[in-house]
Amino acid sequence: MYTEKDIKYFAERGIKTEEIDRQLEFYKKGFPYLQLVRPATANDGIRCLTDEEITKYSQKYSNEAEQMSIVKFVPASGAASRMFKDLFVFVSEYNGSAESKQKFFDINSAARKFVDNIDRFAFYDNLQKIVYGKYGMSVKEMLQDHKPKELVASVISKDGLNYGNLPKGLIEFHRYKNTSRTPVEEHIAEGIQYAKSGKDVKIHFTVSPEHLGFFTAFVDKARVFFEEKYDCKLDIGFSTQKAFTDTISVDDNNEIFRNDDGTPLFRPAGHGSLIENLNDIDARLVFIKTIDNVVPDSRKEATIRYKTALAGYLLKTKENIADYIKLLENNPTTKQLDEAYVFISKKLCTEFPESFLSLSDPEKAKLLVAKLRRPLRVCGMVKNEGEPGGGPFWAKNSDGTTSLQIVESSQIDKDNPESQAIVAKATHFNPVDLVCDLTDVDGKKFDLRKYTDPLTGFISHKSKNGKNLKSIERPGLWNGAMSDWNTIFVEVPIETFSPVKTVLDLLREQHQN
């Protein structure tokens, strides 16, 4: 099946032919769906902390943070082109004709809403400079002169703000008194408030290779301001998705899709591949949050309060885990086995099959210790105020246990009535708000690659040069890549979740400073 050139090409990318075989088999057979048991809801998989508990756990984290290594980890590879999709369509279709004008002036037109609110965006002042230099008139004059296409193009085009080609992390999101901030700057400002050990603040961004230069140049300029303002020492790092995590593409006949030069086409396989980047992080505690989920300083209080509470809850749970491991590894009594069993079932939300009860005490102890000696994560969950979808569920694992999983819609069988009935009862969704402990109770770093589900993924349909192709994508870092972690869900308020998927989301109250 493979030519000598193929095998050499695979080796250059660090991919074994056995892995290619495995991926090609998935194209033929597909990926298995997760077996959902029930949705995780308040007090059944999702903990609801009292104000007193939030204060207690926040204080615990604050008391101990200085003695541990901490990193804020931000997946930031998203391109801003998706934010401006509707504006790209408008620029390509608007030609000044009566029909295109009618589309633009439609009250539901995204371009119309964008233009009508142009002065409310944080990038307005810089846009003013661009259009004045290019057209010799202000933004207001351009609108009066009926040039909406030119104005919108000045935001997304290369000879304007170039926002259509920049990473989302470098778009101006929030306006301040004398300046504005991008998501990168907001993550730095936010991270300083909770991902701090002494005066040291470590933040790591995963970025696309083509955007790395933009990020490093921008951060080099921004670093000085934040270090002076907050009296801290910033250690900001970057990494890109590793080439060997890319997956091979195929055509409609499941044959390898080839580039014009005959080489096999590989594509990045999604956020799930970032487990490799996370595995390289040298820290005990890692906060994970996506690049577009940030708010201005005036609205950060709830986020900081709950981030520190989640971290404190994790630290307390880790202490409990250490205590139970010590008991179980030293000839535990039946009573101690029962206590550990209840802790793992109730606190770590891992339910065992009935066959567990028939095991001998040494066998039980060995299995319980194996479940305790896993990476630990505490994940914030927000009440779902819209339609139920992917989020927190109880699901069956290959070893017969049932545990908490963050599930994407692609992992759920849409043709299975039972699964869909479970989805319909979901009450919360995942805002990507995680605190992770990457070390064992002995202080040794876990190899995170051992705690993934290799059977998790989905097949997406795309095209290149007019030809159909299929590619494998791995569900997010917090889905299949963390499926075998000890997982705790905690309810967090909606104020901690303010994503920006389109540019119009910046008009929401949470992003208006």
Phi-psi region of 162 (alpha: psi -120 to 50; beta: other; left: phi over 0): left
CA angle 427, 431, 437 (to 5 degrees): 110
Say which range, 99-103, 257-261, 308-312, 459-463, has the weakest mean pLDDT: 99-103
Those residues whose C-beta lies under 8 Å from the C-beta of residue 451, and which sit 6 or more positions away, are: 374, 375, 482, 483, 484, 485
- Give the integer Cα–Cα distance in Å for 238 and 277: 10
Nearest to 392 by CA among 422, 354, 372, 356: 422
Residue type, 385: E
Residue 92 DSSP class: H
Note the pLDDT of residue 163. 96
Note the pLDDT of residue 513. 80
- Beta-bridged to residue 486, according to DSSP, are 376
Instruction: Give residue 476's pLDDT band: very low, low, confident or very high (50, 70, 90).
Output: confident
Say which range, 101-115, 427-441, 454-468, has the weakest mean pLDDT: 101-115
Instruction: Give residue 387's pLDDT band: very low, low, confident or very high (50, 70, 90).
Output: low
CA angle 112, 499, 287 (to 5 degrees): 160
- Give the integer Cα–Cα distance in Å for 110 and 100: 13
- Give the integer Cα–Cα distance in Å for 140 and 467: 44
Say which range, 94-98, 299-303, 335-339, has the weakest mean pLDDT: 94-98
For β-strands 233-240 and 200-207, DSSP reports them as parallel
Note the pLDDT of residue 389. 54
Q: Give the CA distances from residue 295 to residues 18, 175, 220, 264, 364, in Å, rounded to whole numbers and listed in that order.
A: 45, 11, 22, 42, 47
Q: Give the CA distances from residue 96 to residues 146, 233, 409, in Å, rounded to whole numbers and listed in that order.
A: 9, 53, 41
Q: Which string of b and e fits 273-297 if b means at least 16 CB within 10 Å?
A: bbbbbbeebebbbbbbbbbbbbbbe
Three-state secondary structure readout of 219-249: HHHHHHHHHHHHCCEEEEEEEECCHHHCEEC
- Give the integer Cα–Cα distance in Å for 438 and 279: 8
The yes-or-no verdict on residue 243 having pLDDT over 70 is yes
Instruction: Give residue 465's pLDDT band: very low, low, confident or very high (50, 70, 90).
Output: confident
Give the tokens for residue 495.
């104020």
Mean pLDDT of 10-38: 95
* Average predicted confidence (pLDDT) for the chain: 94
- Give the integer Cα–Cα distance in Å for 86 and 503: 9
Say which range, 388-402, 418-432, 473-487, has the weakest mean pLDDT: 388-402
- Give the integer Cα–Cα distance in Å for 26 and 21: 9
Give the tokens for residue 412.
């759920």
Give the tokens for residue 425.
């009862």
Q: Give the CA distances from residue 375 to residues 78, 317, 394, 499, in Å, rounded to whole numbers and listed in that order.
A: 27, 12, 18, 27
Other beta carbons within 10 angstroms of residue 59's beta carbon come to 13
Residue holding tokens 């869900």? 489
Q: Which string of b and e fits 137-175 if b means at least 16 CB within 10 Å?
A: eebeebeeeebbbbbbbbbbbeebbbbbbbbbbbbbbbb
Note the pLDDT of residue 98. 79
Instruction: Give residue 226's pLDDT band: very low, low, confident or very high (50, 70, 90).
Output: very high
Mean pLDDT of 313-338: 97
Residue type, 20: I
Indicate the burial class of 258 (C-beta count within 10 angstroms; 0-12, 13-18, 19 or more). Answer: middle
pLDDT in tens, 62-95: 999 999 999 999 999 988 999 999 999 999 988 8
Other beta carbons within 10 angstroms of residue 430's beta carbon come to 23
The yes-or-no verdict on residue 385 having pLDDT over 90 is no
Mean pLDDT of 298-312: 97
CB under 8 Å, gap of 24 or more: what pairs does 508-513 form? 510/295, 510/299, 511/173, 511/174, 511/295, 511/296, 512/120, 513/174, 513/175, 513/176, 513/296, 513/297, 513/298
Note the pLDDT of residue 425. 93
The yes-or-no verdict on residue 386 having pLDDT over 70 is no
The yes-or-no verdict on residue 388 having pLDDT over 70 is no
